[in-house]
Structure 1
Amino acid sequence: MPFRALFHLRLTEAGCTVAVYSAGVRHGQHQPSGEATAGLYREAGRLPAALPVPGRVRGGGDERLRAGARRNVTLDGTEHQLTLTPPPPRARSDRHHRAPSPRRCGCPGGGEAAVAVATLAAGTERTPRPRRNRLPDRAAAQRVSGRGPLIYAARMGTYEVDGVRLAYEEWGPEGGTPVVLVHGHPFDRSLWRAQARRLAGAGCRVVLPDLRGYGESQVVPGRTPFPVFAGDVVALLDHLGIADAVVGGVSMGGQITMEIRRLHPERVRALVLAGTSYPAETEEGRVGRLALAERLLAEGMGGYADEVIGRMLAPYNVEAKPDAAAHVLRMMRGTDPEGAAAALRGRAERADYEATLSAVTEPVLVVVGADDSFTTVADAEAIRRLVPHATLTVIDGAGHLPHLEQPEETGEALVEFVTGVD
């Protein structure tokens, strides 16, 4: 008999209520690898949050999660401790009293799917009842109640390029305007997650890749040239069946975005260039990146992360926005030095993108923090001179990562731009 489990996890802070559903695990079997789904739904006026499912649920004996077990999970960049409470009665979905099938619930990956439902409201406990009817499609989210906007599920998966396993997550309806957002160095795809949720809420289909060597993607030591990064992103579009997309990135991710436009212009519907610059690396810069690669291999990421946090964020935001600072530090410290070094060596040899930008006819949004000391407002204005029809948005109160430091203002600019793209 298949084992169906419904776990109700209670967040110990702020009176938050979280329910985690895992379906399709059989007795004595490990849950298959593949796509997992973390879903998020909210009512109007409640705070959104991304909830990574705390480990795979496995069937059989002692492997099951026990009531009272504690797990640490990350919720929007902040760690919380969850306590497992006894599961409520299993839902009856048909006349044979079987639990709802994950496929009938519209979850991708069949038995591999897990859906997390979060309602964040202090002092409020609301556990949604499982629906008996089929959901509209596998990308769509349920409403927690009859009120409020839909929030779509994050569908997480992997794909391979020449034997290298790469990770990604996808937000929003499959029929929405496709948007690919590329993280910078030395980060991972969670860098864009808040904006992905916002764009998904506006009806966009948002794809966040982990570049090779970063996040959950495989590390390939040595050197990773920008054409390889660009090819990985295009392979992800192929994997998802996306012909062209709004492609954007921040910092190194912005340069990879320009590399995609240089090598694969037919795959680009519009460009978002945040905190980035177009010239080729100078000789001084090349030497510096190669030296930094060796330093990271010798010392690890910790010292470098502490050294540059006051430039990744505007210095005043390191203390004023502790959650953002903690998120950035966690990403930097968690990056594999081999992956970071390989990217630095590739970045040292990047192309000049002046000719590429001069030929752009697609819509372009240029975003820069007013106090960015890595890529300044002057660098952003230089891009707009090459692309006169580009929209330049300067975000006050932000440094190199405006989408983390001022997420509301940056999000408004992104949604307005993307929803205006044909």
Structure 2
Amino acid sequence: METPRIGALRGTFDFGAVTLRWTEWGPVSGRPVVCVHGLTRNGRDFDALAQALAAQGRRVICPDVPGRGISDWLPDGALYAVPTYAAALVPLLTQLGEYDWVGTSMGGLIGMGLCAIPGVGLQRMVLNDIGPFVPVASLERIRDYLDAFPEFGSLAELEAQLRRVHAPFGPLSDAEWAHLARHSARVTAAGRFVLHYDPAIAAPMANPLSDVDLWQLWEHVARRPVLVLRGESSDLLLAETAARMGQSPGVTVETIAGCGHAPALMDPAQIGLILRFLEG
């Protein structure tokens, strides 16, 4: 496997200074694709997709959203919200100019939020199992596993937990699960294995939860070509939501069999859908 480059950019915001870090693949002169992960995940989830895009000459940037992976943690758990994440990414995105976007779950919400910013450089967008309506039941399920934040005695134990919690990613090989585990682990000072994110990302979900309705934002999103990927058993992107999204001109919806929330984008067929879409 090709070794990615590591990039970093430090920005100063209302909430303080934060260093955003990312893995980067492909020629620096290539047309940029930004791939942004889900709530508890990190940019290494996209390694397989990134290498396929890099082979087509694209420059692929996979940030670790603040609070995850190798990026800085935020000083207050209340800051862990989509507007903060978008603000932290804007300095990098401004440098890129025009770029395409692949967003899984939270990464898709960030991308949709960016679409409301005048002059944003986001061209083509892939939304992986996320849309402008998120039912409260799915948020409550996510809150339940965020509240746990267990420690493990070994990487194998952590991998077993990932296999349980993220079974809806779809059928993955042992090597793929091992890859996810390796890049999802952080070793504490006591030698225990924990998931590689700040436990405080759960703080905003301690408040009463309700359905998320962003349909007013959708009109900004759908002004560009959009590919929507929906896991066929997803509880987060409902079938009726995806169908309504697909009514917008230029929006294509694909259902991914054998997956829930959210397709892992490691399968060659899933990668192929994205490659063909981003080729335009």
Bin the TM-score by the shorter chain.
0.7 to 0.9
Aligned 8 A contact 1:289 1:344 in 2: no
Q: Report how far residue 393 of structure 1 moved.
A: 1.9
Instruction: Tell me the residue number matched to 2:213.
Output: 352
Instruction: Tell me the residue number matched to 1:157.
Output: 7
Instruction: Tell me the residue number matched to 1:327.
Output: 179
For each residue in 1:327-379, what CA deviation from the matched residue of structure 2 results, as whole angstroms up to 9, or x when unmatched?
34442743234353257569968963212222422111111233434434444
Instruction: Tell me the residue number matched to 1:232.
Output: 88
Q: Please state whether the residue corresponding to 1:215 is helix, strand or coil.
A: coil
Q: Please state whether the residue corresponding to 1:266 is helix, strand or coil.
A: coil
| Matches of 1:376 and 1:329, distance apart in 2 | 28
Instruction: Tell me the residue number matched to 1:254.
Output: 108
Instruction: Tell me the residue number matched to 2:278.
Output: 418
- Which of 374, 380, 385 is residue 242 of structure 2 equivalent to? 380
Aligned 8 A contact 1:219 1:338 in 2: no
Q: Report how far residue 410 of structure 1 moved.
A: 1.4
Instruction: Tell me the residue number matched to 2:228.
Output: 366
Structure 1: stretches of 5+ with no match in the other structure: 1-48, 52-153
What letter matches 2:234 in structure 1? D
Q: CA RMSD in A?
A: 3.3
Alignment CA distance shift 1:227-1:201 (3 Å): same
What letter matches 2:93 in structure 1? L
| Matches of 2:48 and 2:263, distance apart in 1 | 12
Q: Report how far residue 278 of structure 1 moved.
A: 1.5
Q: Report 1:226-305 matches (<5 A).
A: 226-238=82-94, 241-263=95-117, 266-279=120-133, 282=136, 293-296=146-149, 299=150
Q: Please state whether the residue corresponding to 1:161 is helix, strand or coil.
A: strand
| Matches of 2:269 and 2:106, distance apart in 1 | 22
Q: Report how far residue 285 of structure 1 moved.
A: 6.1
Alignment CA distance shift 1:236-1:164 (3 Å): same
| Matches of 1:316 and 1:183, distance apart in 2 | 16
Q: Report 1:11-410 matches (<5 A).
A: 49-51=1-3, 154-162=4-12, 163-220=17-74, 221-223=76-78, 224-238=80-94, 241-263=95-117, 266-279=120-133, 282=136, 293-296=146-149, 299=150, 309-310=163-164, 312-314=166-168, 317=171, 321-330=173-182, 331=184, 333-342=194-203, 344=205, 352-359=213-220, 360-385=222-247, 387-406=248-267, 408-410=268-270
Give the structure with the larger helix fraction: 2
| Matches of 1:218 and 1:170, distance apart in 2 | 18
Instruction: Tell me the residue number matched to 2:191.
Output: none
For each residue in 1:229-288, what CA deviation from the matched residue of structure 2 results, as whole angstroms up to 9, or x when unmatched?
1112222123xx211211220111111111121235622112110011312664x66666
Alignment CA distance shift 1:228-1:322 (3 Å): same
| Matches of 1:384 and 1:347, distance apart in 2 | 31
| Matches of 2:265 and 2:141, distance apart in 1 | 27
Aligned 8 A contact 1:226 1:350 in 2: no
Q: Please state whether the residue corresponding to 1:228 is helix, strand or coil.
A: helix
What letter matches 1:409 in structure 2? A
Aligned 8 A contact 1:281 1:348 in 2: no
Alignment CA distance shift 1:242-1:350 (3 Å): farther
| Matches of 1:308 and 1:277, distance apart in 2 | 24
| Matches of 1:301 and 1:340, distance apart in 2 | 20
Aligned 8 A contact 1:399 1:405 in 2: no
Alignment CA distance shift 1:350-1:323 (3 Å): farther
| Matches of 1:169 and 1:379, distance apart in 2 | 32
| Matches of 1:277 and 1:304, distance apart in 2 | 30
Which shifted more, 194-203 or 356-365? 356-365
| Matches of 1:328 and 1:396, distance apart in 2 | 21
Q: Report how far residue 293 of structure 1 moved.
A: 4.9
| Matches of 2:266 and 2:119, distance apart in 1 | 31
Q: Report how far residue 214 of structure 1 moved.
A: 0.3
For each residue in 1:182-225, what CA deviation from the matched residue of structure 2 results, as whole angstroms up to 9, or x when unmatched?
00021110011111111111111111100000010111241212
Structure 2: stretches of 5+ with no match in the other structure: 186-193
For each residue in 1:107-132, what CA deviation from the matched residue of structure 2 results, as whole angstroms up to 9, or x when unmatched?
xxxxxxxxxxxxxxxxxxxxxxxxxx
Q: Report how far residue 308 of structure 1 moved.
A: 6.6
Q: Which has the larger radius of gyration?
A: 1
% identical equivalent positions: 25
